[in-house]
Amino acid sequence: MRILGIDPGLAIVGFGFVDKEGNKLTPVQYGCIQTEAHTLEEERLLHVYEGMVQLIDKYKPDAVAVEKLFFSRNVTTALPVAQARGVLILAAVQRGLPVAEYTPMQVKQAVVGYGKAEKRQVQEMVKLLLKLSVIPKPDDVADALAVAVCHAHSVSLNSKLNEVLRK
């Protein structure tokens, strides 16, 4: 199963494709889609959408996992990020892909084992679990890979739970 993890944003969208084979996770490709700050918002959204469509078409994931938005302070950035998140989900749904959403706490719990883990702990675990030589930069990329890892663990857990319930 190939999973696309997404850390949504308007300035930077982190993405990470991870293959899951049994319990083995292998990074396929990761990086970010960036938009220019002084560009019209609608042009930035179009760039994010088109970039995601190209990535989906090239790497052909089986599922998409997106981080849910959480804003405790800066509400002014929430709307543009929510709009970017919407076009990212649209790109996936138009390609017929199932989309799963995870809160930051769920991602931390799945990757580190502690829902209130520090960002650095999550990044170190992503590096370790995916056998990377360095922590991916910018942080949005490591976050996207963490979302993909979270989904990989959730898929395993759900399939085991379904097996038990069928018995």
**Residue 19 assigned as binding residue:** no
- Whether 56 shows a pLDDT value over 90: the answer reads yes
**Residue 41 assigned as binding residue:** no
CA distance 39 to 18: 31
Q: What is the predicted pLDDT for the residue at 69?
A: 81
* Predicted TM-score of the model (pTM): 0.91
pLDDT in tens, 144-154: 999 999 999 99
Average pLDDT of the chain?
92
Q: What percent of the chain has pLDDT over 90?
A: 82
Bond before 98 cis per omega within 30 degrees: no
- Whether 165 shows a pLDDT value over 80: the answer reads no
Query: Which of 15, 7, 98, 79 is closest to 52 using CA atoms?
Result: 15
pLDDT in tens, 101-133: 999 999 999 999 998 999 999 999 999 999 999
- Whether 75 shows a pLDDT value over 90: the answer reads no
Which residues are known to be catalytic?
A: 7, 67, 140
- Whether 6 shows a pLDDT value over 80: the answer reads yes
Residue 105 CB-density burial (10 A; 0-12 exposed, 13-18 middle, 19+ buried): middle
What are the boundaries of each domain within the chain? 2-166
Q: What is the predicted pLDDT for the residue at 77?
A: 74
Phi, psi of 39 (to 5 degrees): -105, 150
Q: What is the predicted pLDDT for the residue at 71?
A: 62
| CATH of the structural domain 2-166, one choice from 3.30.420.10, 3.30.465.10, 3.40.50.720, 3.90.550.10 | 3.30.420.10
Terminal Cα distance for the chain, rounded: 25
**Residue 62 assigned as binding residue:** no
Q: Are 7 and 122 in contact (CB under 8 A)?
A: no
